[in-house]
A = this chain, B = another copy of it.
Amino acid sequence: MTIKDVARHCGVSVSTVSRVLNNKPDVSGAVREKVLKAVKELNFVPNGSARDLVSPISDAVGIVFRGDSSPFYMGIIGAMEKVFSEAGFTTVVENVRHGQDELWAGAGLARSKRLRGLAFLGGRFDYTPEDIEKLDVPFVCCTYTNSFGRLSADSYSSVTIDDIKTGYEAAMKLIERGHKRIAVVMSNVDDRSIGELRYMGYRKALEDSGIALDPALLIEAGEYSMAAVKVAVEKAVDDGLDFTAVFAVSDILAIAVMKALSNKDLRVPEDCSVLGVDGLEMASYMVPSLSTLAQPTEELGEKGARVLLDMIKNGSPGSHTVLSTSFVPGGSIAEI
């Protein structure tokens, strides 16, 4: 069974079948349907290598994501694939696991699959020009920036929220409700990542509100996991730490905070308010529902994909887009 058999069966040209299989836009809906039906009936499986031989330039882009935080990334991947597919590109998704370097994984993927570009979902905030030398395709950092690195702005693109501002707004949501003793929960304060940036925002909010910073209110779990956060918050309560609210730097960690407080017989929000960041679907199913600053998941994906396509197709230099979070009020915060 070859592509020629499919073409003969449908009474169309091989190149039409090829355009349908490659998801190109210039085929009418009726023809597209006929071809896809025949492909299914004839049990024809497109052969990636043969297809590559036909079109000298690959039409594939890669998405490299860190599996640790998958619930948040799944929505972004879906939005990206939609844009890539509409532009006639196929998408290769690679899951980078704990301890593996995303640039390394991306570089290998780009070469072996002859990708035209890469979208990284999550990664280090401190790339150097030497780090990215191994990448010979344009790339976009989605959900993170090079805040602690040394890349020139036009050598890469980013689409992200403003992490410092997000930390600021999170603290303000709690300060507005009368809280002054606000604990911050994260893995490590000097993680050169979202934790460090959002803590900067938190400090600024306190300063702007005339509240003295108490370093004791910083609860570092040592690692980015629910288990470590639960232990750290339970210990803080046992140690008699005095706080009326918690800002957790992500929803996953906030859910662990709620569990720790419950284990210590503290009620949310009566005894302690809890606020997260991300806007996970799961957050709205907590009892009480978790208040969160939601990332614009679809917009991050769509914009990230469009920026990358612009670099690939038009050779545009890197661009940097900052999107806003939106406050999703829930039952987990209250006035005091």
Across the interface, A94 reaches (CB within 8 A) one of B93, B134, B262, B284, namely: B93
Residue ID in chain B nearest A52 by CB atoms: B112
Chain A to chain B contacts (Cβ below 8 Å), 22 pairs: A45-B104, A45-B107, A45-B108, A45-B111, A46-B111, A47-B112, A48-B112, A48-B113, A49-B111, A49-B112, A70-B74, A77-B95, A78-B97, A81-B97, A93-B95, A95-B95, A226-B281, A258-B287, A259-B284, A259-B285, A259-B286, A282-B282
**How many copies, total?**
2
The residues of B that contact A134 with a CB separation of less than 8 Å are: 43, 45
Binding site for B on A (CB under 8 A): 43, 45-49, 67, 70-71, 74, 77-78, 81, 93-95, 97, 104, 107-108, 111-113, 130, 133-134, 226, 230, 255-256, 258-259, 262, 281-282, 284-287, 289
The residues of B that contact A46 with a CB separation of less than 8 Å are: 108, 111
- Complex Cα gap A283–B98 (Å): 22
- Complex Cα gap A118–B282 (Å): 31
Q: Lowest 8 CB-CB distances: which A-B pairs, in order?
A: A48-B112, A259-B285, A262-B287, A45-B107, A47-B111, A70-B70, A43-B134, A45-B134
The residues of B that contact A111 with a CB separation of less than 8 Å are: 45-49
16 new A-B contacts, CB < 8 A, other than A67-B77, A93-B94, are A43-B134, A45-B107, A45-B134, A46-B108, A46-B111, A48-B108, A48-B112, A49-B112, A70-B71, A78-B97, A230-B285, A255-B282, A256-B285, A259-B285, A259-B289, A282-B282
Least CB distance, A122 to chain B, in whole angstroms: 15
Least CB distance, A206 to chain B, in whole angstroms: 29
